[in-house]
Amino acid sequence: MGHFLLLPHGTSGSIYPFVWLGRQLQRHGHRATLVTADAYRETAASAGLGFEGVGNDELAALLADPQLWTQEDGARVSYERAAGSTRGFVDAIEAIVARDGLPDLMLAPMINFGARLVREKRGIPLISVHLYPMLFVSAHDLPLFAPVAHRLRRLPLWLRRALLLLPNPLDRSALPAVRTCCEAHGVEPPYSLWKQWWHSPDGVLALFPEWFAAPQPDWPHNMLQWDFPLEDMAAEQPLEPALRQFLETGESRWCSPRAPASCMPSRSSPKRRSSPGSAAAARCS
């Protein structure tokens, strides 16, 4: 039986795919420990996973920053907060090593710089887990990460390749904190997170199928492309009581996108007070 560390960074959309991975590992007889913000301790317990917390400060700061939700600064804010979490993740992994010995494998997104630092320090194998194709920045199929990408796609392939060799502006947001943590642990810091730490040399796991995004010639050769992490997570995040009550007692008729006009409320219909879930479901009168 192996011991696997799952090290997601971010909010629920980034956490639950790793919970799914933990379930798969457990079904094959392995031990899986989720290492992330303390806010997800109960999530790990509900899934039967081990848990090691890294605190909630960086997650709270990330969600509280209004620039996170802007196209211009969202990526920069994510990088800065990820870099700020580096020490917390390193400390959590070191606590596990001190208590249980070296794990057999770590799985983490590229933005978890603490996991990569421990890989360099202790030699624990690390698999980079990419949840969506945009993280494979390919000159052959440039992701539409910004409006300018539409224009870049029209450039010749050789020029697109040359542009991807330029420094990544996001490095400036994260490198100072990562370098400080590397120096504290006796690890040679990278000169570029983009060029050196984006994909782990030990392996890359893509959690989406080929029909969704076909692999490109410049994707990592040590990559395994799998499938979407599809599983019912109702036990980990149950519906709120008010929403559950509405779904159980509310009207059972629903409007389809092609519903006739007779399905819609008439202007003379009495107005109804909105109830929980009404924003997500169109009720027929």
Q: Considering the chain, what percentage of its residues have pLDDT values greater than 90?
A: 62
Where is mean pLDDT largest: 30-39, 64-73, 161-170?
30-39
Nearest to 264 by CA among 274, 253, 273, 275: 253
Q: Residue 253 has what pLDDT?
A: 56
Q: Residue 254 has what pLDDT?
A: 57
Three-state DSSP state, 130: strand
pLDDT tens, position by position, 189-207: 999 999 999 999 999 999 9
Contact (Cβ atoms closer than 8 angstroms) between residue 156 and residue 181: no
pTM (two decimals): 0.81
Residue 276: is it exposed, middle or buried by C-beta count within 10 angstroms (0-12/13-18/19+)? middle
Contact (Cβ atoms closer than 8 angstroms) between residue 32 and residue 59: no
Lowest mean pLDDT among 59-63, 201-205, 217-221: 59-63
What is the pLDDT confidence band of residue 282, given thresholds at 50, 70 and 90? very low
Contact (Cβ atoms closer than 8 angstroms) between residue 96 and residue 124: no
Q: What is the DSSP letter of 104?
A: S
pLDDT tens, position by position, 106-119: 999 999 999 999 99
| Strand order across the beta sheet in which 105-108 lies | 50-53, 31-36, 3-6, 105-108, 126-130, 204-206, 223-225
Mean pLDDT of 52-73: 87
Higher pLDDT, 162 or 230: 162
Q: Measure the CA–CA gap between 191 and 196, rounded to whole angstroms.
A: 8
Report, in this order, helix, strand and coil percent for the chain, each rounded to 5.
40, 10, 45
What is the pLDDT confidence band of residue 56, given thresholds at 50, 70 and 90? confident
What is the pLDDT confidence band of residue 271, given thresholds at 50, 70 and 90? very low
Nearest to 111 by CA among 207, 197, 201: 197
Number of H helices, E strands in the chain: 11, 7
pLDDT at residue 78 tops 50: yes
pLDDT tens, position by position, 163-188: 999 998 889 999 999 999 999 999 99
Nearest to 34 by CA among 118, 115, 134: 115
pLDDT at residue 14 tops 60: yes
Q: Residue 71 has what pLDDT?
A: 79
Q: Which CATH superfamily is domain 3-225 in?
A: Glycogen Phosphorylase B; (3.40.50.2000)
Mean pLDDT of 71-76: 84
pLDDT at residue 273 tops 50: no
Q: Measure the CA–CA gap between 69 and 260, rounded to whole angstroms.
A: 37
The residue extents of the domains of the chain are: 3-225, 245-285
Q: What is the mean pLDDT of the chain?
A: 86
Q: Which residues of 92-113 are buried (b: 16+ CB within 10 A; e: fewer)?
A: bbeebeeeeeebebbbbbbbbb
User: What tokens does 201 get?
Assistant: 């040399």
